[in-house]
Each structure stands twice: as C-alpha cells, then as structure tokens.
Amino acid sequence: MKYIILDLEWDGAYYPKIGRFINQILQIGAVKLDDGFNIIDTFDVTVKSSFTKRVSKRFAELTGITKEKMLAGISLDKAFEAYNEWVGHDAVTMTWSNSDIYTVLENEKNLLSGIKLRIEKYLDLQKYIQGEMRQRGIECTSQISLLNAANVFEIDIDEAELHNAKTDSTVCAMLLKKCYNAERLSAMIIDTSAPDFFARCAFKPYVIKSIDDVNLDKKQLIFACKKCGEQLALKGEWHYRNGALYAELYCDACGEKYFANIRARKLFDTVKIKRKLYVKRTEKSKSDDMSDMSAKV
C-alpha cells in the first residue's frame, strides 16, 4: 500500500464562460510515502491558467507564484496526466481537509473535458489529526490549520515556507508519522467508488434563509407556549436576519407573547436545526420588574 499526501494551491478568478469566480488550481504538490511513512518520492508542478494571465496579489504573496511563474507552467490537463502517472494505482490519497477535493471537482467540471485526478482511496488528514489530538487530551473544537497542528506537535517549520504545495505535503507527512495509529487510520480510509462520495465532497452546506426552502421541515416552525403549553400563533411573517429565521408569536389561550428564532443549516444528507423561544417583554412587564426591585430595596 502506498500513501500519497496531496496539496493544491489555487487562486480565485472570474471565469467568463460560467459567469462567476472559480478557484483555479495553479500548483499541485504531493509526497509519496512507504508503509513506514517515509517520503520516497515527490511531485511538484505549476499550472498555467487556461483563461487568465493574472494572479491575485494575495496569492502571489502567499505562494511565491508570480504571474510570470504561472504563465511558464503547464496546462491543467497535462498536470493531471503527469500526476496520475506518478501516483499509479493502489494508493491512499490524503489531503488537509476535503476542500482540495472540492476544488479538484470544480476544476474537472469547468476547465477539463474527461480527465480526472486519480484518487482511488481517500482520507481527510486534518480530520484524522484532530481525532488524534483528542485522543491525547488536546482540546480541538474547530478545524485546525496546518501551522497550528505543527506547533501542537512541536514540528519545527518556517511559517514563510508554507502555502507551497510540496512543502505543505511534507509537513502533513511529518504530522502523520507522529500521530500514526493503524486501527484508527484504517477506519477512516474511504473507497471513492462508494456511493455519493464525490457528490458529498462537492456539496456546499448552506444556511436556510426562507421557510419556503424544501429542506426545512415545517414542523420546526411550531412552538408551544411556555406558560400554558398551547400552540403559538404567528404574528406577521417569518423573516431572515443575521443567520436566522425569526418571527413574533403569541398565545391565544393566555395572551403571552414571544420571539422565535430558528437557525437551520443544510448539510449533504441532513438539516441541522437550533431553535430558541424568548418571552416578549412588554413595557408593563418591565415596569413590574422595576417595581419588584424597588420593593426589595
């Protein structure tokens, strides 16, 4: 079994053919590891854009790939062909988060015709390393950057050298070697021929902004009165603001008034929901509270 750690550098650019911005791959870097996770070969190519002669200032500063270096690169299809030949077969490909996979799919769909990057088995290395951090009692509540992960495991790197595809792949290899657990690693390897693998990678989660979204279960709009338990009625309409749907509700039975707040996020195969219900404080209730405070004093 071979292990490949793949890293891409991409730059956002407006692509007239599809009428929107696309993250175009401009560098492919990778390292090939043996069973002991020792680097036995490397891959490094710069890709020439097929539709622009520029790179963004930020991309050039981060990666060191100037407009001149980009224009001297090879085409994306030739880069993919060279990579596929280098990888061969029977390899597990790893990337630091699956955002690289999404970018590959986006480039294959919009910039190529037929050729696909060879990824037969896959592992999200960022997710694996975060799991190993938790195994060691290291708190990790959100996605960790490659630099921060290297710092956690005391891997000495020059921050200025990051954002180069081959360098980033090399740092990933060092992290993997420090955190290797055969059982847990094997459990996270996915066969990309599995149903929905690439569709899941390509899917972008989104915030639901309307109650008319077909993915929102309308039962989530129903709230019960905290005072008497009766179903609340809607006053006005549901609105979207600051990442949430909200509405005013009231209880016909006891007259209590509320604000309802729903945060809904569509994932590939589910919808994540957070609901909150607040009592609407009237001027009278505020006045009563002040009277109670005065009485206590």
* Residue that wins the pLDDT comparison between 81 and 156: 81
Q: Nearest 10 degrees: CA dihedral of 123, 126, 127, 132?
A: 110
The structural domains of the chain, with segments of one domain joined by +, span 2-202, 207-286
pTM for the predicted model, two decimal places = 0.78
* Alpha carbons 275 and 263: distance in angstroms, whole number: 6
Q: What is the pLDDT of residue 157?
A: 75
Fold designation for 2-202 = Nucleotidyltransferase; domain 5 (3.30.420)
What are the tens digits of pLDDT across the range 160-209?
Answer: 567 788 889 999 999 999 999 999 999 999 999 888 998 888 888 999 99
Tens of pLDDT, residue by residue over 38-75, are: 999 999 999 999 999 999 999 999 899 999 999 999 99
Q: What are the tens digits of pLDDT across the range 18-44?
A: 999 999 999 999 999 998 889 999 999
Task: Say how many Å lie between the first and final Cα of the chain, rounded.
Answer: 76
Strands 91-95 and 121-124: parallel
Q: 240 pLDDT exceeds 60? A: yes
State the Cα–Cα distance between residues 163 and 260, nearest whole angstrom: 44
Alpha carbons within 13 A on the beta-carbon side of 163: 12
What is the per-residue pLDDT for 293? 37
Give the position of tokens 């999404």.
102
- Structure-model confidence comparison of residues 259 and 140, the more confident one: 259
Segment 79-94 shows an average pLDDT of 95
**Of 47, 50, 53, 48, the residue nearest 111 (C-alpha):** 50
Classify each residue of 265-281 as buried b or exposed e, where b means 16 or more C-beta atoms within 10 Å of its C-beta: ebeeeeeeeeeeeeeee
